[in-house]
Structures are given as structure tokens and as C-alpha cells.
A and B are shown apart, each in its own frame.
Chain A
Amino acid sequence: MKVLVPIKRVIDFNVKVRVKSDNSNVDLANVKMAINPFCEIAVEEAIRLKEAGIATEVIAVSIGTKACQEQLRTALALGADRAIQIQTDLELDSINIAKLLQKVVEEEQPKLVILGKQAIDSDNNQTGQMLAALTNMPQGTFASIVKVDGDKVNVTREVDGGLQTVALSLPAIVTTDLRLNEPRYASLPNIMKAKRKPLDVKNAEDFGIDLTPRTKTLKVTPPAERKAGIIVESIDELVEKLKNEAKVIS
């Protein structure tokens, strides 16, 4: 079975982003970029399914500027078989991303689509669920265990109260949580090999989808700063401060 893995190029998770002084957006000039950590977990899961003999082909897809080819090459180096870049300079809303992915699903007919549960830039947590709705597939979101079993998949999900396991008929959508797996590092030979793997480029405009923005960002501001606190010298002092100054304990 084919597994499709949509991935996103985002700011590296170690970088603390800054807001532009004109409050129009965050400043990504000269900032280190990377594959979204949850997408990396998705790629890893797909590759493990291939290594287990369950998946036959792993296809990575990314929507964005030419720069996202870098993240597609990373996915190829990790073990994806081929990649598709859908070229656009627009910052698309999740619904429009999901509609483009729907077209890819229609063309590739994967049995499983694995996505990250959220991108660490927009923090939206939507695209996988939207794609599931548009393709009329069931979904296993926030997955910590994925078990393919014939024509269905059991997904154990991280939920507020603990864990929940659901059974989904294939084809299905899975979105990854942190505990699903620990992604491998790409080896140098695999990075070299990835350069020769197929990477198709398509234009977002050619998909016949109305990509009109659904949201408008009016401004982006820095969060309220917490005012600097103090270092206390002893537990006695801490307890005294919490009681009499902060008044949060009695």
C-alpha cells in the first residue's frame, strides 16, 4: 500500500521567533528552518511501515515556495521514495492546503495519509482533520500507536484523560503525536542518495482550486512580558513570599 506524508517547512523548534517592529508578522529573515517536528515523526512512521513490509511506497508532499524542496530532500534522505512539491508563494489557509492535498490523494490513491498533528509555527492543528473530511476518510489524530491490520488500522490516541484506541477502515488519515516514534537521523550516504530520488514540481494554480484567502492577519504583536522575578535564598523565604507577598497560599 502507498503512504502519503504531507510535510511543512517551519522555523527550527529551537529558535525563538521575533515579531517585526511594524507588527505585520514575525521576522523569518535569516532564521534557521527545518521540517516541522511532527511531520518528521510522520515520515518516520511511514518508513517504519515500509520496513515492516506493510507500505510499498512512501511519497512526501509539501506545499510552498521552492525552499521547501530542502525539507522534501530531508524526507527522501530519511527513506521516502519520491516527493512532490506544490509550488506557491502564497501563505495558504489550512482549508486550501487540505484541498490541494485532496487532489494529491485523488491522484495517488494512498491507503494511509500520515501528517503531523500541528505545525509549530501556526499552531493550528487542522490540516489532517480537514483532509479527512474532504476525502471522506476516518481519522486517528494525536496518534501514539498505529497498527495496520488488513483493511483497517488501529490508532491509539493521546487524549486529555489518557489514551483512546479507535479502529478505522482504510484508507484513513493519521496525525502524529510526540510519542509515536523517535525519528532517525539521515545518514550521509542516504543524503547523497536522496539527491537522485524523483522530486516532481507542480503549480498550485494548476489544480483548479480557488485559493482565495479565508483569513486576514491584521497584526502580530509580541506577547506580554512577565516582569522579572527574584531568586529566594531559602525555602522559608519562598513560603513567606507565597503567603504574604503573592498571597497564593495560606
Chain B
Amino acid sequence: MSILVFAEHDNNSLKADTLKTVAAAQAIGGDIHILVAGSNCQSVAEAAAKINGVSKVLVADNAVYEHQLAENVSLLVTELAGDYEHILATALTTGKNFMPRVAALLDVTQISDIIGVESSDTFIRPIYAGNAIATVQSLDSKKVITVRTTGFDAVVTDGSAEVVALDTVTDAGNSSHVSDELTVSERPELGAASVIISGGRGMQNGDNFKLLDGIADKLGAAIGASRAAVDAGFVPNDMQVGQTGKIVAPDLYIAVGISGAIQHLAGMKDSKVIVAINKDPEAPIFQVADYGIVADLFDALPELESKL
């Protein structure tokens, strides 16, 4: 039984999330291969070869995979699928984009966002914004799965897998990349941070997010946001934490001026320790917070920064 894991990367470096998806593959059990699809992505292949428990790295290095367009990548993965019983990708925007295409091309359904493995065909996944947890058995012969990283601990990187170059070029020819507008930040990524401080509508405007900077600096934290803060244009979309944004589970999550709607909680309630700063003592966020402080954030944030 073999498992193919799709590597998350930006052509330069392997995303650490892949190590968690490999952990899910190990829980399923079998010979694990990694697919690196990109352009000029040899450094990613080298990093992937070190992932513990991986026996082979397949590298499809071609311009058609540079931006990992779903149309092209799904054809590649489908072509390789014959050798595998399980195909796994990380449930981030790349995997979410192309994997259901793979499933459809293979005439199977996809098991999305698993957080646990019961057996090689039975998986655990949250539904209804995490308000229910389903145990789902796949009845398809091939399993196409996306893995939610908060459900698995990263494997170590002390391996040395064989690296095999693929010469398959699958170009659907019906889509092309136009441009990227990526957020540049010195801070850790939301998915990788052990501390996150997030601001909500209570922050009032984008400028006030600076009040989170000093605290984030001191704690080495990533900065997140609620949907309301993103919709209002305070901060960019990639900062949204929640059911339909990023799912995070850091050691410490500090929610500032966030009410605690179901959809926000869905993205952060598996954090180890939750702190809420809110001036409304009735805010639902206090029901999930380990430590709550009822205060005006404009007083609380400067004081917190000075006392850290």
C-alpha cells in the first residue's frame, strides 16, 4: 500500500505544514512518497528528501507547475494516482484548490480536512464549523484526502529519501497566472506561530493594529484578525482566522476586540491557552477563554506591552 503526499512550497522552501501531512500519512500506514510539483524547485526536493518516513521524492520541475495552477497540477497527480491507494495534500489554499479536481478525475469523493485517522479508510473531520466531529468511512477504492494541520504533529527531518525526476508535463492550456499580491511580513506565519494575537472589529481601524505590533514583537507572535476586521479593510484577507479562513492552534491565542462568533471560534478554539480582551463581559469569547479581561483594549494593550 502506497501513499502520495503533495508537498506545499513556494518553489524555494518546503512549507513546514507538509511535515504534518506526512504525519497523517504515517498514521494511515504505508510506503510514503512525496510529490514536489513546481518550477526550479530543486531546493524543495532536497528538503522533502529529509522528511522522516518518506521513501521517495518525485519531482515534477517544469514551468507549467510554477504557480501550481489547479488545472495542470490535478492532471499530473491523476496521472500518478495509479500507483497509490491514498493521495494526501495539506488543507491550505493550494491543496483545497486542486485536490477535489483530482478526486473527480478519479471518480471518487474527497475526504476534506481530516484531523484524525481511525484506520486506512476511516477518518475524523470537523463539520458545522467544528460544532460536530464526524467519523467518516470512505467507500471509494482510492482515498483523496486533505489534512488539517492542527490535527497532527510534524514529523522530524532526519531522513534521506531517493529523489526521482519526473518528465511528465501536463498542461491543460485553459488557465494562466496573471499576478500575485502577497503580503510581506517579518513575522511568523499564522500556521507556524506558537503565539498569535488577533484583532477584531473592536480595533476600529487598520492603524490601531499597530497596538498589537509591540506585543507581537515581544512574544514572537503572528498577527491575525476576525472576518469583520478583514471585511472592513483594516488588514488583508490572509490574516483571517476562522471557519472559512485559517485554522490555527497555537500555544497562546490572544483575541482582542473579537466577540467570539461561531465562525471565528472554529478557527482557534483548539489553541492551548486562550486569552480574551473585550470590554463586553457578555461577549461569547469569554466562554472559551482560559483568561479573560474585561477592559477597553486601548488601555489594556499599551499596559500589556509594557509589562511583558
Q: Which residues of chain A have a CB within 8 Å of any CB of chain B?
A: 11, 13-14, 16-19, 26, 38, 93-96, 98, 117-118, 120-134, 136-139, 141-142, 144, 154, 157-169, 172, 177-179, 213-223, 226, 228-236, 238-239, 241-242, 246, 248-249
Cβ–Cβ contact B134 & A217, under 8 A:
yes
Residues on B with C-beta less than 8 A from A158 are 93, 237-238
Additional 14 contacts, C-beta under 8 A, given A125-B96, A126-B100, A220-B133: A26-B131, A126-B109, A129-B70, A141-B97, A162-B238, A163-B236, A164-B179, A214-B138, A218-B122, A218-B136, A222-B131, A222-B132, A226-B274, A231-B292
Cβ–Cβ contact B100 & A130, under 8 A:
yes
Cβ–Cβ contact A229 & B219, under 8 A:
no
Cβ–Cβ contact A123 & B113, under 8 A:
yes
Q: Which of B100, B108, B129, B269 contacts A129 (CB 8 A)?
A: B100
Cβ–Cβ contact A123 & B127, under 8 A:
yes
Cβ–Cβ contact B93 & A159, under 8 A:
yes
Chain A interface, >50% SS class: mixed
A217 to B123 alpha-carbon distance, docked (Å): 10
A171 to B246 alpha-carbon distance, docked (Å): 30
Residues on B with C-beta less than 8 A from A142 are 93, 96-97
Q: For residue B220, which residue of chain A has the nearest CB?
A: A249
Residues on B with C-beta less than 8 A from A236 are 307
Residues on B with C-beta less than 8 A from A231 are 281, 286, 291-294
Q: A13-B263, A94-B110, A141-B70 are in contact. Are A235 and B303 (CB under 8 A)?
A: yes
Residues on B with C-beta less than 8 A from A216 are 136-137, 139
When each residue 170-188 of chain B gets 1 if its CB lies under 8 Å from chain A and 0 otherwise, what string results? 0010111111111100000
Q: For residue A210, which residue of chain B has the nearest CB?
A: B107
Decide if B193 is an interface residue (CB 8 Å cutoff).
no
Cβ–Cβ contact A98 & B183, under 8 A:
no
Decide if B103 is an interface residue (CB 8 Å cutoff).
yes
The 6 tightest CB contacts between A and B, nearest first, are A129-B100, A133-B104, A130-B104, A126-B100, A229-B290, A138-B175
Residues on B with C-beta less than 8 A from A161 are 10, 180, 182-183, 238
Q: For residue B113, which residue of chain A has the nearest CB?
A: A123
Chain B interface, >50% SS class: mixed
Decide if B217 is an interface residue (CB 8 Å cutoff).
no
Residues on B with C-beta less than 8 A from A154 are 178
Cβ–Cβ contact B237 & A163, under 8 A:
yes
Q: For residue A123, which residue of chain B has the nearest CB?
A: B127
Chain B residues 266-280 with CB under 8 Å of chain A are 269, 272-275
A-B residue pairs in contact (CB < 8 Å), sample of 13: A13-B262, A125-B112, A132-B104, A162-B238, A165-B177, A165-B178, A166-B176, A169-B175, A215-B139, A216-B139, A219-B134, A220-B127, A235-B303
When each residue 110-150 of chain B gets 1 if its CB lies under 8 Å from chain A and 0 otherwise, what string results? 11110000000010001111111111111110000000000
Cβ–Cβ contact A238 & B180, under 8 A:
no
Decide if B98 is an interface residue (CB 8 Å cutoff).
yes
A160 to B190 alpha-carbon distance, docked (Å): 10
Q: Which of B97, B128, B286, B288 contacts A123 (CB 8 A)?
A: B128
Cβ–Cβ contact B104 & A134, under 8 A:
yes
Decide if B39 is an interface residue (CB 8 Å cutoff).
no
Chain B residues 236-291 with CB under 8 Å of chain A are 236-238, 243-244, 246, 251-252, 262-263, 269, 272-275, 281, 286-291
Residues on B with C-beta less than 8 A from A233 are 293
Q: Which of A121, A133, A230 contacts B100 (CB 8 A)?
A: A133
Residues on A with C-beta less than 8 A from B61 are none
Cβ–Cβ contact A223 & B132, under 8 A:
yes
Decide if B300 is an interface residue (CB 8 Å cutoff).
yes
Cβ–Cβ contact B308 & A239, under 8 A:
yes
Residues on B with C-beta less than 8 A from A179 are 230-231, 237
A105 to B16 alpha-carbon distance, docked (Å): 40
Cβ–Cβ contact A239 & B112, under 8 A:
no
Q: A117-B244, A178-B227 are in contact. Are A166 and B104 (CB under 8 A)?
A: no
Cβ–Cβ contact A242 & B273, under 8 A:
yes
A230 to B286 alpha-carbon distance, docked (Å): 9
